Structure 1
Amino acid sequence: MASITNEKAFEESIEQSLIDHGGYAKGDPNNFNRDLAIDQTVLFQFIKDTQKNVWDSLVAIHGAEVEKKFLYRLNQELDARGMLDCLRHGVTDYGKKFTLAYFKPVSKLNPETQKLFDKNILTITRQVHYSTKDESSIDMLLSVNGLPVATIELKNPFTGQDVDDAKRQYKYDRDERELLFQFKKRALVHFAVDTDVIYMTTRLQGRKTKHLPFNKGYNKGAGNPPNPSGHMTSYLWEVVLVKDSWMDILGRFLHLEVEEKTFDGRKFKIETMIFPRYHQLDSVRKLSFDALANGAGKNYLIQHSAGSGKSNSIAWLAYHLAGLHDKNDKRIFDSVIVITDRIVLDKQLQDTIYQFEHKSGVVEKIDKDSAQLAQALTSGTNIVITTLQKFPFVLDKVGALPKRNYAVIVDEAHSSQGGESAKKMKDVLSAVDKTEIASEKINEDDDIEDEIRESMLKRGPRPNLSFFGFTATPKAKTLEFFGQKGVDGKPQPFHLYSMRQAIEERFIFDVLENYTSYQTFFQLSKKIEDDPNMNKKKAACAIARFLTLHPYNLAQKTEVMIEHFRQVTLKKIGGKAKAMVVTASREHVVRYKHEFDRYLKEKGYKDIKALVAFSGTVLLDGIPPEYTEPGMNGFGEKELPEKFATSEYQILLVAEKYQTGYDEPLLHTMYVDKRLDGVKAVQTMSRLNRTCPGKEDTFILDFVNKREDILAAFQPYYEQTQLSDVTDPNKLYDLKTKLDSFKVVYQSDIDAFCAVFFKNKELQTKREHAQLNAIVDVAVERFEAIEKDEYKEDFSNTLGVFVRLYAFLAQIMPFQDIELEKFYAYSRLLLKKLPGPDGGERYHLGDEIALEYYRLQKIADGKIQLQKDSGAAIEPISEAGTKKDKDEYALLSEIINLLNDRFGTDFTEADKLFFDQIEEEMVMDEKLGVQAKTNTIDNFKYGFEDVFIAKLVDRMDQNQDIFNKIMDDKAFAAVVKDYLLKKVYDRLNKDSGDWSERPLFFKDVIPNEDVADNQKYVDFLPVYSLQAVATSFGKEEHVEMLGWKKIENKRLNKDMFIVQVVGKSMEPTIPNGSFCLFRFERGGSRNGLVVLVESRLVTDPETSQKFTIKRYRSEKETFDDEQWRHRKIILSP
């Protein structure tokens, strides 16, 4: 008896399972014809049993040689058409058509086809000697009616061998020239199997053979989960290979993909036999089964990472959904609609499904108008493919559609479920018969209410529509709309194939594996004498734009990129590697292209050529010529992907275009010169993750983003994306209550509006358009009458939040609040008519400022490590983050000082100042101040800990050594935190007016009454109780003068005063805590001085800088001799 731990025992257990439970018969290896690689005994048994009359008529033609001649003909067809096509569509010999396999019917309308399916003979044959040259054998051979379709090499880890040995056996011991292994002609898939994992390939190519994992995945990563009742890989023979499943895979999954490629101007075809990976097979079957069980009217979210093969999954799902029939043999879905922006998907769908059925017209692409869509749906086209942009939005245009059920498959779901667009899409498919409503003579009030209810129902879930949303990076809206509730009540995907699993299975690269950060340090100066008063945000944006577009900045970065590309990237992927430069704007693309061309010419580099990708036209500095993508590249936009794939071009400079949905496997390196946040960062950097032969790694060089920000962007999508909480519908009522308090919208206006707006469209007149405007204009007038601009802004912002939130929430729950629906309809149009905030002038500061100092420095490189089971979640949709920042104004010189300070301090910051700066920031933290005054030090330390870490992380770039020491050395960190805890707590609880607690500087401050008038502003300057610190500011406050300080060896004047600089100084060379002399700028206003101070609490969304502004207003007293002095200084926002 064989040992139960050897490979033979493993073989026997699989064979027995398939024979006992899988619908297989035991094959005889002696019946295998090595010359033809067919089990002709089983083949003829099947043909004579199922097609006796046809066989008899062929016997009459060929006589005694009928089997020999039929095998000759069959071999011809298998060589020419391949095994898969012959299995599906049979062969013809002398006009006699023979079916080689019967596939299970999708309906029970023809019982005879089920009987024929049952007559298929599936065999499992062990130790098959396949070669005509030697006695080489394969462990297991699976055949259908004598025709070989799969081989299996088994390894048992108990014997010291595993799946890698099976893979090596296929690569080095199985000659692809042997007929059994010839691509397409015989066996269609080859499995390498051990007790733990499975790999498969559809093409043997010697050492180039590529095996793909065929595993379930475990803990959101690669591998298989433990199986308490058997082998971890038992799903292969217990589920996948059983008769019904295996025949379904052969009939409705496997397909031959023919891809046209262009290389160096030459076109050639690449054939690939596509066998579903486990997650594809699993997701399509689970989705189909659930749709069959529950019928139409349900939404599904499929979170499948890049590299998951979404195009094939969508094609298979569409075909399976189109074939679903209920127990009464009625189709579950009358049509399946695929919404995608993938140009290749329509052809791929048509080609794939044609292989299944050899029928035309099963798939129709909608590329004209809504009438074409209506025709496709009413004519019963099984599968319709279109884009959301071309999907018709108006019922009136399409006309009434029959009441039918539809499955809508949305590719990249996050871009396609917007409020009104989704509602309009549902309108078309909601099967509302408008003519019936128009022909009835009913009460007008009832008619309007019915229209409102109908509008509400269209927006909510529809019983005749099922949505299947595919995405790798679901947003909060996507999760709530498509997701299903988990045990915690939060929405989750119906099916998951995670980024982590795709990376671990090597279908994509981890693009954060090699990530290098550069930081720009610079010093600006003001070139003009005047100091104009400017909008703070716009001026800061203009300065940031000035820097990023400055020729020296572009030149330095260009040199870094090109030299890195030549030294590193150019050698990758066998010399074929390419790079993408992600820029901040179209103007950046144009200027970078000029700089790239200049540098390449100057250096004499002829091995690099760059292309550009941007939309529209660009005019530099308002001076012709206008630049366009085709003009700069020398060919049309549609040609770019194909041209860039050739060896002529290496670098692609982009602005928005090609940052999502662009798959070029040869992309190896990305240079990022643009702020990227959240899902945008994931989608953009993931352009590098595609695999191809010879590609071993990727590289990102980032000039702008922080490593921790990129980590935070990727983490929620690394495993399963989850929401921190679900959106609360009661927020709608809270928002409406707030809007009502402004007294801009009256209920009488809403009622009058809805009486017209929801009136039957057949009964509406042109005059009623004017009536709608008049009703809304009344509210606009009330809005204009609001005196304070901040109240106007608050109302406008709140109204916008309400409209967006209602449009979203109404899709995921059927609201039955007519008043809320009426308010929404009115609010949408009111929002469009409200005057927007004054856009103002756009600043161009090229003539006002100059770049004095510039340095580009690598600050970090290496892997950004994504965490397993991190629990990272995305936030649900809410009203947060929608308020517009109030315009603030500052003197140009102070804005420049701010930016110089933000980017310059890393050069001169001494270690001893590091903790002082953190201390000062914490002392000025308003929330921490409240906690200190209301808690004991023991309770205060809990809030202190979080703020300390936040401040530390904020400043980590300024002193990496100290930061690492605190993070790595717990004892050192404890001493530091204990020291700062006591100091911060004591300072926050001290009376700021207590002179005994003032710095030593104050010991020499002389009270006002002790300084003679003739000494003031001659030998002494006033000292004010003002600190230029990191804080945020509230209401106007009075700043006291503390006294006078003697200043020697300096000529003084009445513009001057003294304040203390703490925290991060406005001038990097000034030590923390110093008392500094301030003065008004000459040529500027003597009043209204503006000082910029850093704030860790405020982030400008456009420049991503953290700062705030304080304005100092000086009140003076004037004497009879026309002399004056500062009496007090007012500090205000």
Structure 2
Amino acid sequence: MKSSYNKKYGIDEVRLLRFIKETQLEKYEKLKLDTETGKTNFFRRLSDIIRKDGVVSVLKNGIKCYPVENAILFYHALDKKRPASFDEFNSNIFAVTNQFTYSESNPALELDLCIFINGLPIITMELKSRASSTGWTYKDAEEQYKNERSNKDKLFEFKKCIAHFAVDENMISFTTKIDGKDTKFMPFNKGVNGGAGNPVNDGTMTDYLWKYFLDKETLTSLIVDFCNVVKDKESKKETLIFPRFHQHRVVTRLLADVLEKGVGQKYLIQHSAGSGKSNSITWLAYRLVTAERNDKKVFDSVIVVTDRKVLDSQISKNIRNFLDVSSIVGRAGSSKELKEMLSDGKKIITTTVQKFPYILKDIGTTLKDNNFAVIIDEAHSSQSGKAAASLNMSISGKVDFNEDFEVEDLLSALIEAKTMPKNASFFAFTATPKARTIEMFGSAFDVYSMKQAIEEGFILDVLKNYTQYQNYYKIYKTIEDNPEFDSKKAKRKIRSYVEGQEFPIRQKAEEIVNHFINNTKNKINGKAKAMVVTSSILRAIDYYYAINDILKNTKTGYKAIVAFSGEKEYKGKKLTESSINGFSDKETPIEFKKDEYKFLIVADKYQTGYDEPLLHTMYVDKVLNSVKAVQTLSRLNRSAKNKIDTCVIDFANDPEDIEKSFQPYYKETKLEKTTDPNKIYNILSDLDSKYVYEEDEVNRYVELFLDDSERYLSDPILDKCVERYKELDEEDQVEFKSGVKSFLRTYNFLASILPIGQVEWERKSIFFQGLIYRLPTPKGNDDLTAGILESIDLESYRLEKRNAVDIILENEDGQVANIDTGIGRKSEPEMDLLEKIVANFNDIFGNIEWQDKDNVERQIRELPNMVMKNERLKNALKNSDVENVKKEYGVALDKALRSIIKDNMDLFVQYTNNDNFSSWLKKSIFEEILERSKNMQEENK
């Protein structure tokens, strides 16, 4: 059949004409396709339409060609209610041609394989064998496409085919656009061991391509349900979208599970940055809204929830590209519009997270006869506080957010309010699932890992080229008196103070500017930009003025932008982001794209959800833990043309801590252990023993609450309890208030996942929610560090650069721990004389004489990590047994110190012979592991 291919128009004219004649004889005759003139006119019209709209549009919609209103070129609809649709589908002509000569200008050129539907080419392939005498691989096939296949030939015109595949026995890649040397290929592999590639099977590793994807029905679904041409309004650039393997996998697996189990399920999809989530969500929404089970629509409406207007607009546009029917697709700009659209039967509605919670109650009540699919995208908010405030007012009025708002907060809020309706299925997309999310949704339904995204080249590895800077300070006492202060808190306060002084900031700012000019400015063909992450708004403003002042003297023309939320008083003036930068804060991302702006200095803003591919280097002067470290450093991972690496300069964190933060999310994240419901009984027992309330008071309050009685009836009950609370000593007050918070947090979570509810717990929950906000702060919480900053000053400061390292993550799944259900205890202040605190601070951060100082410092920094790896100590920390923790800590520290003797005796000699140093080291490392354990528990709450 090679001779039937018309090289001028790029069609197999024999099969095309046969299909039309056999299925639409009347149209065949009207078009006069039995004459040369008729054929030429039709082929020319078909060629023009494909050039304009693409072969996908032609296959889906047919073409209009006078005098025929619509000539169908592909029967793709299979409808059980219309048996004739199966006969129509079977009339399609699927064909494969090998050793295909396609070129009009060079007749000798041959393509390994071309697949046709009804005479229209849809897929080309170049096949290579590693076992052949040449040893060629799919990479050689890619080069063949780039160098030997020209888009001047009709077959390789853009949009003429849906995809071009490079294939060998082990790997597959594809492209949707042949563009010479600029042709971009993407992997089309299953993934293996959480990374790139394909697993070994009984046949060829890549046999899934022809066994599954080239099946007639699967191929039809790819064309109808996935492939699409997207046009950017601004650049006018068109992109032909074809799903990557994991995108097709997650959508089809979710759909199959929905068809099997129906409504009311929860799904967690752990897909890394670089996974193309926006397209996956678009395809999923489209498939869910059309899904039928037992001859009935599964969902009446699909709600896509994001927390950024930009992403909301993007997904809305993507969905419209698929459906393009305003009566079906809607974008809700307000909670009122969202409610109206649901009531009016809009099929797919996109909205932001701020609007969505208002309608949750209606879904489960007034709209209870309808079924809904709710797709939630993490797309972390780039602005701290604003989205959180909106959600705080919406669900229960009692959810308190003090961190950057993200998908985890929405899910937790849904849990807290116990408002996940049974007539809705929830699909949550996140790259960094927390323990609560995993316990509620179960293990990830589908995983596309950070490891695979890096290995496949969709994101860059931000842990390569990581450089730590060590800070050294020396302070002195400025007063004659020697007052006492809380030494632990004083140490943190002093460090924050000295790092906020003009000289340390100026020195770090100079290092930042010099590093950028000497190492970064020529990256990405001179387009590279940097982000400076600071610990506070005041610190961000300090850096902004320091960096801009230094840049003026460089004659580069570079400038910095500062980003923070709200208003801040600085040196007697009230400043905002807009007043400093000279343009609206809404314009910050747009302005930063300009060549002159090279530094974006942030304070709790743009650390999550911000997508700027030209960000190459990050300067970190803020302690980062767990998810926050992953989200912040990941601002650098977006790929861009000529971007081959990234760089992190860290003034505040150790490489070991960053490694620990990233490890749980490198592959699949799993739950360490589930929450034990019996611990609620333990909490209630402790609370009951404080005699702050009586059972009849609880019962009476709950009755009044459920009857919606006036507050003057219920308030006296709570007032009595508050008075009893005030009579408790300080330690009991701390334990009672923290216990109430722990109960509410744990019960509200468990109430949404336990199959059998407990009436006693629900009553106590109602009572405690009324009581908690009336309980005053425990007495005795005075600031025992007040006045210390007026008593000291900075004597010297030194910044020392460490060697750049590549942080290598372990090739294993990660674990996250669940919430701590214990009661908090009051920590006793450790009072020290100012003179001793100053000396201790200088001992830690000043200059100490060692035989091999660098090695000792490295060993000291490594000790907490070595100690924390001790399994017995980790178990003790989880169980909150202080005495056991101290015991296991001593054993673990001794083991760690003995293990480093062979490396260097210097530290061990000081530890064994110098009592002061030994005590300081034991205490410092113990405090460090307690703090780390606390932070890990807090991050997973």
Tell me the TM-score normalised to structure 2 length.
0.88
Counterpart amino acid of residue 613 in structure 1: A
**Which residues of structure 1 form unaligned runs of 5+?**
1-27, 261-266, 428-454, 484-491, 932-939, 954-961, 967-971, 985-998, 1000-1028, 1030-1059, 1067-1092, 1107-1133
- 2:301–2:372 CA contact under 8 A, matched in 1: yes
Q: CA deviation at 1:524?
A: 0.6
Q: Deviations over 1:121-163 (max 9, x none)?
A: 2211112211111121211111222111111000011111111
CA contact (8 A) 2:138 2:167 kept: yes
CA distance, structure 2, for counterparts of residue 349 and residue 704 of structure 1: 37
Within a 5 Å distance, the mapping from 1:793-812 to structure 2 comes to: 793-812=734-753
198, 201, 204: which one aligns with 1:227: 201
2:541 corresponds to 1:590? yes
- Cα 1:749–1:324 change in 2 (3 A) is same
State the distance in 1 between where 2:636 and 2:218 align: 36
SS at match of 1:1096: helix
String of CA shifts for 1:279-299, please: whole Å, max 9, x gaps.
000011001100110001111
2:311 corresponding residue in structure 1: 345
- What pairs up with 1:477-876 in 2 under 5 angstroms? 477-483=436-442, 492-536=443-487, 539-601=490-552, 603-621=553-571, 623-624=572-573, 626-759=574-707, 764-765=708-709, 768-786=710-728, 788-837=729-778, 847-869=790-812, 872-876=814-818
Q: Please identify the structure whose Cα radius of gyration is greater.
A: 1
Find 2:373's aligned residue among 377, 395, 407.
Answer: 407
- CA offsets, 1:643-674, max 9 Å, x none? 21221211110111110011111111000000
Q: 2:836 aligns to what?
A: 894
Farther-moved stretch of structure 1 (409-418 vs 577-586): 409-418
Shift of 1:548: 1.5
Residues 79-478 of structure 1: pairs in structure 2 closer than 5 A: 79-94=51-66, 96-102=68-74, 104-105=76-77, 108-134=80-106, 135-159=108-132, 160-184=135-159, 186-228=160-202, 230-259=203-232, 268-327=235-294, 329-369=295-335, 371-393=336-358, 400-412=366-378, 459=418, 462-478=421-437
Question: What is the CA-CA distance between 1:734 and the residue it aligns to?
Answer: 1.6
* Residue 926 (structure 2) pairs with residue 1097 (structure 1): yes
Code of the aligned partner of 2:720:
V
Measured after TM superposition, the shift of residue 536 of structure 1 is 4.6
Within the candidate set 962, 965, 981, 2:903 is matched to 965
Residues of 2 paired with 1:476 and 1:951: CA distance?
33
Q: Aligned residues, how many?
A: 889
Structure 1 residues 262-290: Cα deviation after superposition (integer angstroms, max 9, x where no partner): xxxxx533322121100000011001100
User: For residues 377-417 of structure 1, what are the alpha-carbon distances to aligned partners after superposition, in whole Å with 9 as ceiling and x for unaligned?
Assistant: 12221112222222243788897224122111111299999
Question: Quick check: 1:610–1:650 contact (8 Å CA) kept in 2?
Answer: yes
Aligned to 1:1061: 916
Q: Specify whether residues 855 and 942 from structure 1 end up closer, same or farther in structure 2 by C-alpha distance, changes over 3 A only.
A: closer
Per-residue CA distance 1:847-874 (angstroms, 9 max, x = gap): 43221111100123210111112x5421
Distance of 1:123 and 1:259 partners within structure 2: 34
By how many angstroms is 1:464 displaced? 1.8
In 1: Cα distance, 2:120 partner to 2:648 partner: 50
**Of 245-254 and 944-953, the range deviating more from structure 2:** 944-953
2:810 partner letter: Q
SS at match of 1:568: helix
Specify every segment of 5 or more residues in structure 2 that has no aligned partner in the other structure, as ranges: 398-413, 877-885, 936-941
Amino acid at match of 1:811: S
CA gap of 1:425–1:177, structure 2 versus 1, over 3 A, is: farther
1 CA distance for matches of 2:603 and 2:111? 54
The 2-side partners of 1:380 and 1:630 are apart by 42
Contact 1:413-1:478 at 8 Å conserved across structures = no
Moved over 6 A (4+): 394-399, 413-418, 420-427, 455-458, 909-915, 940-945, 1100-1106
* 2:261 maps to amino acid: N
Give 1:1100 deviation, angstroms: 9.8
Deviation at 1:811, TM superposition (A): 1.9
Whether the 8 Å CA contact 1:222–1:501 is kept in 2: the answer is yes
- Alpha-carbon distance change, 952 to 865 in structure 1, aligned in 2, over 3 angstroms: farther
Report if the CA contact (8 A) 1:189-1:275 is conserved. Answer: yes
- The answer to whether the 8 A contact 1:548-1:554 is kept is yes
Amino acid of the residue matched to residue 498 of structure 2? L
| Distance (whole Å) between structure 1 residues aligned to residue 660 and residue 272 of structure 2 | 18
Amino acid at match of 1:194: D
> Per-residue CA shift, 1:579-627, capped at 9, x if unaligned?
10000011111110110111122x2332421111110112124x12x22
**Structure 1 counterpart of 2:732, which letter?**
Y
After superposing the two structures, state which structure 1 stretch, 141-150 or 554-563, moved more: 141-150
Pick closer, same or farther for the CA change 1:951–1:424 going to 2, 3 Å: farther
Larger RCO (CA under 8 A, 6+ residues apart): 2
CA contact (8 A) 1:461 1:812 kept: no
Moved more, 393-402 or 298-307: 393-402
Q: Secondary structure at the match of 1:390?
A: coil
Q: How much has 1:798 moved relative to structure 2?
A: 1.2
Q: Distance in 1 between matches of 2:525 and 2:599?
A: 16
1:239 positional shift = 0.7
Contact 2:360 2:421 in 1 (8 A): no
Secondary structure class of the residue paired with 2:664: helix
Question: What secondary structure does 2:562 align onto?
Answer: strand
Question: 2:316·2:331 contact (CA, 8 Å) conserved in 1?
Answer: no
Residue identity in the other structure for 2:426: F
Partner Cα distance (2:896, 2:713) in 1? 56
Asked if 1:946 corresponds to 2:892, the answer is: yes
Contact 2:166 2:174 in 1 (8 A): yes
Match of 2:410 in 1: none
SS in 1 for 2:748: helix
Give how far 1:166 is off: 0.5
Contact 1:337–1:409, Cα closer than 8 Å, also in 2 = yes
SS at match of 2:205: coil
Looking at structure 1, the residues matched to 377 and 360 of structure 2 have their Cα atoms a distance apart, in angstroms, of: 24
Distance apart, 1:421 and its partner CA:
7.1
CA contact (8 A) 1:611 1:652 kept: yes
Q: Percent identity?
A: 39
Aligned residue for 2:752, secondary structure, equals helix
- CA deviation profile, 1:508-559 (whole Å, cap 9, x unmatched): 1111111000000110112233444445555434322211211110111011
